[in-house]
Amino acid sequence: MAPIEVKKICCIGAGYVGGPTCAVIALKCPQIQVTIVDLNQARVDAWNSPDYNLPIYEPGLLEVVKEARGRNLFFSTDVDKGIREADLIFVSVNTPTKKSGVGAGFAADLNYVELATRRIAAIATSNKIVVEKSTVPCRTAESMRTILEANSKPGTRFDILSNPEFLAEGTAIDDLFSPDRVLIGSLQTQEGKDACEALASVYSNWVPRERILTVGLWSSELSKLAANAMLAQRISSINALSAICEATGANIDEVAHAVGKDTRMGPKFLRASVGFGGSCFQKDILNLVYLSESLHLPEVAAYWRQVVEMNEYQKRRFSKRVVDTLFNTITGKRIAVLGFAFKADTGDTRESASITLIRDFLSERARVAIYDPKVDEAQIWLDLQEALPTTPLEQIKKSVTIYKSALEACEAAEAVVIATEWKEFRQIDWNVVYDKMSKPAFVFDGRLLVDADSLRKIGFKVTTIGRGERL
C-alpha cells in the first residue's frame, strides 16, 4: 500500500505545542487544511479573536496566525468534526505529572491522552494516521493502539506514529521553521512505514529530508525524554558548580566560558541560574525516574532524580542567600521580584523558579512586589494559590502586590531579585531605582543579567549567582 497523501490535518489540543506546531504546518503547507480543536471555549475564542489576542505569547506566532488563519488554518471546539474529516490527527494534549495514585509525583498523567484516543476510536469512520505529539512515557503508543483497535469500527484502520516536539519556548517558531531534526517513530511494518512517509511528506514541504529522522516507535518516545533529561542535566551541573564558585571566590561565567570552549562540550546550556523551569524538563526527568524504577533499575532512577534535586537545592540556596544577606530576616521587608515567567520571551509560568522564591519569601513573612512583562495577573494569583494551598488567596494578596512596571515594583523595596532574564531588566534606569529604594539597597541577580560593577558604583549591594564576592 502506498503512503496516503495528507490533505486534512486535525490537532487535538490548542496549547503551547499544538497551537504553534500546526499553525506553522498550515503556513508552510497551504494545500493542507489544518484544524486545531480544543474543548476549552475560551482558548479557542482567543485563537479566533479579531484583534489576534492569542492565548499564548511566542515571538513570531502572531505573524504566522495572521497569514494562515481563515485560509487553511482553523480553530474550533467541534472535536468530532475535526476527527471525522482528518486524514492525520495529532494528539497534543496535556500530560502533567500525576498528583495522586500510583506513581504520584513522578509518572505522567495520561488521562487526557486516553480520552482523546477513545474519542478518535468512537468518531472515526475512515482510516486515520494518529500521531502522538504530547510528551509521553515509553510505550504509550502501544496503549493508544490497543484502545483504537479495541474500539474501531469495521473496516477502519489506525496507524500510530510518535512525533515528539523539540521546541524551546521563546524560540518555538524559529525552531519549527528550521528544526535541528524532525523525529518520526513508527512500527517497522509496511503499514507503519507508509504512515511514517505520509507525515514525512508533510514536513518535507519546508524541512530538508536529511533532517527528518525515521526510527522505531519506542526509540522515538525515549529520545524526547532523553533529550530533555540531558539538557536539564547540563543546567544542574553548572548550577552545582555555581555553589562551589560562591564558596571559593571563583566566577561561574569564567568557568562556563572555559568549559564551553571545549568542542566536545560546546557553550549551550552552561549558564548558571536560579534553576530551570518550564513544562518539560522536570516532568520528563521524573517520567524517566518512574520508568527506570518500573523497569527495576534503581541506580538509573537515582541518577536522574539527582538532576531535579539539584534544581530544587539551587532555588532553596538562592532564597536563603537573600535572607542571610538581609541581616538574617526579611520579615516585613519589601522584596521586588522581577520576572515571573520561567524564562524570557514566554508567558509560561509552569515550574517557574519565581514561584518557589516567592513562596519562600512569604514563608519568612516578607512583602513581595512582582513585575513581569508578559504573564497575566490572573495566572500569577493562580500559581501562588497552588504554591500555598493552605493559605487563602485573600491572605496572599495582603502580602503580594503585582505591578505594571519594574520601576513601580522596585519603589521602596529593600531588595530587588532578578528571577527571569527579560532583556528590559538590563535597560532599567538603575540610578532611578536606587534613589527610590530603602538603603542599603540590595540586588540579587539570579540570571547573570546585570553588570554588577556598574550597580555597585551607583551604591547597590549586589549578589550574583555563581560569584564569590563578599559584601
Q: Which residues are catalytic?
A: 165, 224, 280
Say how far apart CA 310 and CA 431 lie, in whole Å.
36
Residues 65 and 52 sit within 8 Å (Cβ to Cβ): yes
Residues 220 and 137 sit within 8 Å (Cβ to Cβ): no
Closest to 16 in 3D by CA, of 377, 392, 341, 384:
341
Say how far apart CA 419 and CA 273 lie, in whole Å.
9
Q: What are phi and psi of 41, to 5 degrees?
A: -60, -40
Residues 408 and 327 sit within 8 Å (Cβ to Cβ): no
Within 10 A of 452 (CB to CB), how many other CB atoms are there?
A: 17
Scanning 249-297, the segments in alpha helix (DSSP H) are: 252-260, 281-294
Record the cell numbers describing residue 181, joined without a space.
Answer: 531534526
Record the cell numbers describing residue 398, joined without a space.
Answer: 495582603
Strand partners, 35: 10, 74
Record the cell numbers describing residue 3, joined without a space.
Answer: 503512503
Record the cell numbers describing residue 91, joined without a space.
Answer: 494528539
3-state class of 61 per DSSP?
A: helix
Taking CA atoms, 29 is separated from 26, 33, 470, in Å, by 5, 8, 57
Say how far apart CA 109 and CA 114 lie, in whole Å.
10
Record the cell numbers describing residue 387, joined without a space.
Answer: 504554591
Say how far apart CA 356 and CA 363 lie, in whole Å.
11
Say how far apart CA 125 and CA 158 lie, in whole Å.
11
**What is the length of the chain?**
471
